Amino acid sequence: MSELREPSLPRTAKVRTGPLRSGWTTGTCSSAAAKAAALALRDQQEVRDVDVALPSGQRVSFAVESCLFTAAEATAVVVKDAGDDPDVTHGAHLTATVSWAPSLLLDAGIGVGTVTKPGLGLEVGGPAINPVPREMIIQAVQEVTDKGLRVVISVPDGEKRAKKTTNARLGILGGISILGTTGIVRPFSTESWRASVLQAVSVMAAQGLDTLVLCTGGRTEKGAMSMLPDLPDVCFVEVGDFTGAAITKAVDEGLTRVVFVGMVGKLTKLAGGVLMTHYTKSKVPLDVLAALDASTASDVLAANTARHAYEIWDRAGVLRPAGDQLCAQVQDVLQRFSSGALSAEVAMVDFTGRRIVAATRADWVTP
C-alpha cells in the first residue's frame, strides 16, 4: 500500500493576489516566426508583425523581433512570452529560417533538441517538435504560399536553457523541445492556480451537486465530458498538479463522489501515493507500473517515461488490463486520502484525450 504524500509547491511558484497572465507556447511562437519568415521570403520585404491560428481556431498576433531576407532565404525571430508561468523558455528567441524547396520540410536547427529515446511520441533521431506545434507551423506557412519550403526552427540559447529542464533524462539532447497542445501557456504550477482549483470546487459544491470530476488539463477534460455528458460543466475542474488540495476541499465542502480522469503519467504518480504531482517534486515511479503486468515488467522498469511504458503495454496487448489495475490503485489512493469520505472512480485517456483506454468502470472504456 502506497504511503500518501502531498509535497509542497516548488520554490519557483509565484504567490499573487491578482489573476494570472497566460502566455504563448514555444510551438505558437515558432509558427509565428515561420509565417513571418515565409512572408518576407515571398514578398521580399521586412515583416514587423504577424498573426497565426491556435488549435482552437482563435487567431493571435505577434511582434516580430527581427526579420532578414534574401531572394533565396529569410529568417524571422519571435520572442517567447510565457506569461506568469515559471517557464525556462520565457524570453527565448524562437527563430525560423525558410528557403524554397521542392516540398514542405520541417527541420530543427541549433538549440532544438534531438529525440534519442522512445516514449515521447516522437521519432527517435528526429527533432523534438511535438505534433501540435508541427501542425501549427505547417498551417502558418501554408497560409503564405502553396509552394515548397524548408522551414528550420532554432533557438540560439536553447541548449543552455535545456539544462534547466528534464530533457536530457528523457533523451532529448542538444536543446529545448518545441511544445504545446493548445498554443497557450496557462500557469498551472503556482499558488494562484491552486487557489483557483479550490475556488472551482467551492463553486461546484454551491450548486448542490455531489460529483466532482478532476481533469489534469484541457485534453483530459474533453475526454471526461464525453464520458459523462449528463453532468453540468461546473462539475469539471482542471486540477493541474493539485489533486490533494482538491480532494481535501471536496471533503470540506461535503461532496461524496470524485471522478479522476488523466493520462498515464499523472495516474502513475497518484498510484504511488503522490498527491501534488509537479514534476520538480515527484518522479514517475516506474516500479508501480512494472508491478501491474509480469510479462512486460522488465521492459517497463527500464522505460524512459510513463508514456514509453504505456506504449510497451499497448504493443504487448496488455494496455487495458494493466491500465484498469492502475486506475484501481489510483481509486484506492483517492479514497484513502479522503479518509473514506469520498467514493472515487478513475479513467485513463490516451494522449489525444479523446479515447478512454482504461477505467474502474468497464462501460466508460471507448470500444
Q: Would you tell me how many other CB atoms lie within 10 Å of the CB of residue 199? A: 12
The pLDDT value given to residue 51: 97
The pLDDT value given to residue 83: 84
Integer angstrom CA distances of residue 59 from 16, 187, 287, 306: 28, 20, 44, 33
Q: One digit per residue, pLDDT tens: the chain, 367 residues?
A: 666 655 555 544 444 555 667 889 999 999 999 999 999 999 999 999 999 999 989 999 999 999 999 999 999 999 999 887 667 899 999 999 999 999 999 999 999 999 988 877 889 899 999 999 999 999 999 999 999 999 999 999 999 999 988 788 678 899 999 988 777 776 554 565 676 688 788 888 888 888 999 998 888 998 999 999 999 988 998 887 788 889 999 999 999 999 999 999 999 999 988 776 554 445 778 999 999 999 999 999 999 999 999 999 999 999 999 999 999 999 999 999 999 999 999 999 999 888 999 999 999 999 8
The pLDDT value given to residue 4: 66
First to last CA, the chain: 31
Collapsing DSSP to helix, strand or coil, 192 comes out as helix
Integer angstrom CA distances of residue 296 from 22, 120, 277, 320: 41, 19, 25, 13
Q: Would you tell me how many other CB atoms lie within 10 Å of the CB of residue 103? A: 8
Label residues 282-310 b or e (16+ Cβ within 10 Å = b). bebbbebbbbbbeebeebbeebbbbbbbb
Collapsing DSSP to helix, strand or coil, 96 comes out as strand
The set of cell numbers assigned to 98 is 525558410
The model's pTM: 0.69
The span from the CA of 179 to the CA of 113, in Å, is 11
The pLDDT value given to residue 206: 85
Integer angstrom CA distances of residue 49 from 76, 93, 265: 10, 15, 38
The burial class, CB within 10 Å (0-12 / 13-18 / 19+), for 70 is exposed
Angle, alpha carbons 21-27-28 (nearest 5°): 55
The pLDDT value given to residue 5: 56
Domains and CATH numbers, the chain: 23-185 (3.30.2110.10), 191-364 (no CATH)
